[in-house]
Structure 1
Amino acid sequence: MNARATWTEREIGDLGGKVAIVTGANSGLGFETSRALLKAGAHVVMTMRTTEKADAAHKALSDELGPVSLETMLLDLADLESIRRFGEMFHGKHSQLDLLVNNAGIMMTDAQLTIDGFESQLGTNHLGHFALTGHLMDIIAATPGARVVTLSSLAHRWGFMEFGNLMFQNGSYTPRAAYGRSKLANLLFTYELQRRFEAAGVDAMSVAAHPGTAGTGLADHLFNRWYLQPLKSLVFLGIQTPKQGSRPSLRAATDPTAVGGDFFGPSGRKEYRGAPVRVASNAASHSEIDATKLWTESERLTGVKYENLRTSTK
């Protein structure tokens, strides 16, 4: 793919007739991703956890863009039952899914569990999206040229997999380590999904992206103490806007020259900011052994089986 660092939303083609889902779409990267896809003519299903957030996002985009093909649906990625209900509802309304953007996430939270008892960051960022993608896999496999875009982070570089202690159940939890593991899991999932698409002969593509640094509000809770507020201002000085941070996701979602297994991020120094280009993830993210283990464990934990992709290269 062309590595030039000049790509903008203007290069998104006509998406008329395409159906997209963007998770965590009420604010930040998800909101900006949804806006750009809507402007390109796609029918966009924006997911969020509450009716209030759904109504506000719908109004904001409708007021700005006028008549667009916009739908909001409730989804809590920290709740497997909510994910199952979403899958059933989507199946009841749609027979195609051209683009699934696994965008939603939480970042460096204190130790807590999802409703199903999973460590919250791995449970939300990876297991929730694993289950969601699995519930939608029959429609994805039936839609020629479908794409699954999964959001990772530079933080994948400090992640490590420890399958005997996947949820930090031995008391070793730190917000940073758990976040890094969840973002590494996003990439292991992306690459394994692409291998399984290819092995099963499915005409679909699995790609990943990371935003670099962007002021999305995802890390606001890290500055809750009054004495950290000045530091917050310094940290957020000069970093990308959510619109800028959404560009790697949008290029991953729409670039006609992208191929399965591509990873997009900013072109600038240390990949903190800049126009989106193909970037490289670390060696750990390409471990097929860890990817297979994670897939097996994810199926066991979520109870979601990818029946359309039972053939694997392993």
Structure 2
Amino acid sequence: MQSFPDLSGRTVVVTGTTSGLGRALAARFVRAGARVLMTARDDARGRAAAREVGGELVLLDLADLASVRAAAARIRERTGDRLDVLVNNAGVAVGPRSETADGFELQIGTNHLGPAALTWLLMPALCGAGDPERPSRVVSTSSIGHRSARLDLDDLDWRRRRYSPVFAYGASKLANLLFAAELDRRLRLSGQPVLSVAAHPGMTASQLLANSYRRAGGGGLRARVLLAAERLVVQPVEDGIAAQWAAATGPVHGGDYLGPSGPLEAHGPAGPARRSAAAQDPVLAARLWPVTAAATGITPDPGRRLGA
């Protein structure tokens, strides 16, 4: 029988929990004794998942900043402003070009802007639960796809460049790593008891590609083909959550980046992951912060000095 740390008394938010990595993570947190708030865009699917896993549903669409604000307010109210772990897991990948409710390119909007906004809005709750002996944690989920990407801060929405779904996805995952690094830097400066950690699942049967095509109105046949292709080359989702689980519950330091330790970081137990040169650029990370704040319309918790 697999053993888990005792997370009794801990409160966790996992985004994107109706299937794949998010659902598996939520179930594991519940088995470890945590109170788990599971976010989902779809009420019926979210209720079914929460009922099966034993978590609590919070409706959240990361592609709609009004939904992000409403969900953050509900989470803060329901947790009494005490949140131990936030796992930013939900995302979309490589579907046809589409836009969020606020007019952003769908992948940068859903994968970076929405999670960044949620993190900032929940920071008072994360600070409220953390202490120096047991800091709260923010886990940002990236991808090996970030390594071939570049981030154009003057054209996040791909309006001036020819659109590439693959490179747009990579850019959003690069943004996740840059945001996690800058968040870690600012948390260290402010002395708040919160760790910013990142992780990626390697090649996992997460249904991310198929779900993204369905959301963007892609054909059902293409979604089924993508799902079948995923199953041929990827590890089971229970193995794929290893790095995210280690980032959320294992011995880590702020700024760590974890992924599968096998060849090409595709499979295997969690270990240190490799960042691209761009993902290690502190100037780019610092520049992304105000660009993200302007796009989301959210000031990064100045009361906690994270906006400094």
TM-score by length of 1: 0.89
Q: Distance in 1 between matches of 2:124 and 2:208?
A: 32
Q: Distance in 1 between matches of 2:233 and 2:101?
A: 37
Question: Kindly, what percent of the aligned residue pairs are identical?
Answer: 38
Residue in structure 2 matching 1:33, options 7, 25, 30: 25
Which residue identity is paired with 1:185? A
How many residues are aligned here? 297
Match of 2:246?
Answer: 251
Match of 1:20?
Answer: 12
Match of 1:186?
Answer: 176
Per-residue deviation, residues 200-226 of structure 1 (Å, max 9, x unmatched): 111110001000001111112399575
Aligned positions of 1:200-211 closer than 5 A:
200-211=190-201
Q: Distance in 2 between matches of 1:235 and 1:22?
A: 23
The range that moved more, 162-171 or 207-216, is 162-171
Per-residue deviation, residues 140-193 of structure 1 (Å, max 9, x unmatched): 122221000010000010110112222111142110111000000000000100
Q: Distance in 2 between matches of 1:227 and 1:205?
A: 39
The range that moved more, 240-249 or 38-47, is 240-249
Shift in alpha-carbon separation, 1:114–1:235, aligned structure 2, 3 A = closer
Larger RCO: 1 or 2 (CA < 8 Å, sep 6+): 1
Q: Which runs of 5+ in 2 are unaligned?
A: none
Per-residue deviation, 1:231: 7.5
Which residue identity is paired with 2:59? L
Q: Which runs of 5+ in 1 are unaligned?
A: 1-7, 63-69
Residue in structure 2 matching 1:273, options 267, 273, 293: 267
Match of 2:157?
Answer: 167
Residue 237, structure 1, aligned to residue 232, structure 2? yes
Match of 1:118?
Answer: 104
Match of 2:72?
Answer: 87
Q: CA RMSD in A?
A: 2.0
The range that moved more, 120-129 or 171-180, is 171-180
Shift in alpha-carbon separation, 1:208–1:279, aligned structure 2, 3 A = same
Contact 2:209 2:226 in 1 (8 A): no
Per-residue deviation, 1:259: 0.4
Match of 1:66?
Answer: none
Match of 1:44?
Answer: 36
TM-score by length of 2: 0.91
Contact 2:205 2:230 in 1 (8 A): no
Residue 138, structure 1, aligned to residue 130, structure 2? no
